Amino acid sequence: MAIMKTRDRILAASLELFNTRGERHVTTNHIANHLGMSPGNLYYHFRNKPMIVAELFQRFEQRLDAFFTLPEAPLTLDHKADLLEQLLQIIWQFRFLQQDLDQLLEADPDFAQRYHAFAQRSLRHARGLYQAFIDAGILLMDARQLEALTLNAWIIINSWARLPGAQPRGQQLTEQFLRRGIYQLLMLEDGYIAPAHRPAIGALHARLQVPLGELLPGLD
C-alpha cells in the first residue's frame, strides 16, 4: 500500500475537520494536532489555512469539471441516475464548501474571485448538460425554460446546505439531507419530462426522495 504524502495527509485531515466541525472552527493548530505533527511541519507545506482551503476548492472544481464532461453517445436515463448519484457524492465529500460558503466568500477576496469564475463556468456546463437531455428527447423545453431551469438548479445546489432553519444549531449536515436536495433538483424538471420517460423518472424520484418530515419534523 502506498504511503500518503504529508501534503495529501494534511489536505485529507483538513477536509475531514472542515466537514465535521465547520471551516471557521478549525485552525491550523487543530489540523496539526489531529495529525500528530508540529505546526511548523504543517506550515512547511501550507503557510496558512486559506492555502489549504484553496487547494481543496481546486480539487472540488476538478471533480465538478469531470462530472460535467459528457459522453459522446446520447444521454440516457441511466446516465441521469448515475449523474445524480455522482453529484451527491461530490457535494457530500466537500460539504464544508456549501455549509460555510458565505463566510468563505466574505473572508477571502481571492477565494471569492475564484468562486465567481467557477460559478460562471458551472452555469455554462449545467446548461450544456440539460441541453444534452433535451437533445436526447428526455426533457421537452424551449430556450427560455432551459435558462430558467439552469439558474434555479444552481440556486438549489448552492443554498440547500444552508437552508434557514433546516439544521438545528450545532447539528451536522447529514447525507440524507443532501439527498433530499438532489431530489429537489430533480423535481425542477418534473413539468418538462417527455411522457415516454415519466415511469422511469418516477422510479428515480422514489430512489432519491427522503420524507420531508424526517428532515424537518415541523413540516410533517
pLDDT in the model for residue 175: 85
Is there a contact between 18 and 26 (Cβ–Cβ < 8 Å)? yes
Q: Return the SS3 of 178.
A: helix
Same domain, 77 and 25: no
* pLDDT over 70 at 213, yes or no: no
Same domain, 70 and 14: no
Same domain, 95 and 138: yes
* pLDDT over 80 at 220, yes or no: no
Distance of CA 131 to the CA centre of its chain: 21
pLDDT in the model for residue 2: 55
pLDDT in the model for residue 89: 92
pLDDT in the model for residue 165: 56
Is there a contact between 101 and 163 (Cβ–Cβ < 8 Å)? no
Distance of CA 44 to the CA centre of its chain: 30
Q: C-alpha grid cell for residue 183?
A: 431530489
Q: Return the SS3 of 193.
A: strand
Q: C-alpha grid cell for residue 105?
A: 466568500
Same domain, 174 and 142: yes
Same domain, 29 and 107: no
pLDDT in the model for residue 176: 85
pLDDT in tens, 30-50: 999 999 999 999 999 999 999
Same domain, 128 and 206: yes
Q: Which residue has the higher pLDDT, 167 or 15?
A: 15
Q: From the CB of residue 93, how many other CB atoms can be counted at a distance below 10 Å?
A: 15
Same domain, 102 and 2: no
DSSP string, 88-135: HHHHHHTTHHHHTHHHHHHH-HHHHHHHHHHHHHHHHHHHHHHHHHHH
Same domain, 59 and 148: yes
pLDDT in the model for residue 3: 64
Same domain, 213 and 117: yes
pLDDT in the model for residue 164: 61
Q: C-alpha grid cell for residue 133?
A: 437531455
Same domain, 11 and 55: no
Q: From the CB of residue 41, how many other CB atoms can be counted at a distance below 10 Å?
A: 13
pLDDT in the model for residue 36: 96
pLDDT in the model for residue 48: 96
Closest CA to 212 of 174, 188, 180: 180
Q: How confident is the model at residue 166 (pLDDT cuts 50, 70, 90)?
A: low
Is there a contact between 60 and 94 (Cβ–Cβ < 8 Å)? yes
Same domain, 38 and 59: no
Gap between the Cα atoms of 104 and 107, Å rounded: 5
Q: C-alpha grid cell for residue 78?
A: 441511466
23: domain CATH number is: 1.10.10.60
Same domain, 145 and 198: yes
Cross-strand pairs, 139: 193
pLDDT in tens, 192-204: 999 999 988 888 8
Domains in the chain: how many in total? 2
Gap between the Cα atoms of 42 and 6, Å rounded: 9
* pLDDT over 80 at 211, yes or no: no
64: domain CATH number is: 1.10.357.10
Highest mean pLDDT among 64-73, 78-87, 190-199: 190-199
Q: Which domain holds residue 4?
A: 1-47
- Geometric angle at alpha carbon 216, from 212 and 217, rounded to 5°: 100
